[in-house]
Amino acid sequence: MTPEQIALVQSSYAHAQDKLPELGAAFYRQLFTAHPEVRELFSTDPEIQQKKFTDELSEIVASVHQLPTFLETARELGARHLDYRTRARHYGAVGDALLAALIEVLGPDATEDTIAAWRLAYNLIAETMQQGAAEAARQRAMRG
């Protein structure tokens, strides 16, 4: 990601700070509408789950300009998602839901460049999370 793309992600997220509950709700609405089969993976109260989602997203966005921290945060998140039964096929659905939720919540601030920057950021997050999940799975297999 370029410094300009990082700035777009961070500035657009800063604009959404007062709408984080709306962003969390929009994300899950988009995800469950497009992929109702994933609803069974979520057993936590929806409001708590939405807050967890926006908290994690906030942490990732805050670290996006510090690549080592960003990658470590994403790897750890991926390892935790292994316990949630998240599979590789889920990452595309989550990315689509995130982008749709951002477009909904940001409104006119969701420019093509902004969404393209978010798409790149999400792809990096998703790839790194999957690496973290694979590493965790290997470690667990080695321990027996």
Q: What is the mean pLDDT of the chain?
A: 92
* pLDDT score for 28: 95
Per-residue pLDDT tens digits for 37-73: 998 888 788 899 899 999 989 988 998 889 898 889 8
pLDDT at residue 93 greater than cutoff 90:
yes
* pLDDT score for 18: 92
Q: How confident is the model at residue 1 (pLDDT cuts 50, 70, 90)?
A: confident
Q: What is the DSSP string of the chain?
A: --HHHHHHHHHHHHHTGGGHHHHHHHHHHHHHHH-GGGGGG--S-HHHHHHHHHHHHHHHHHHTTSHHHHHHHHHHHHHHHHHTT--HHHHHHHHHHHHHHHHHHHGGG--HHHHHHHHHHHHHHHHHHHHHHHHHHHHHHHH-
Per-residue pLDDT tens digits for 9-36: 999 999 999 999 999 999 999 999 999 9
- The mean pLDDT of 112-141, rounded to a whole number, is 93
Its pTM stands at: 0.89
Q: Which residue in the block uniquely carries the two structure tokens 């991926």? A: 78
Report the C-alpha gap between 22 and 111 in whole angstroms. Answer: 19
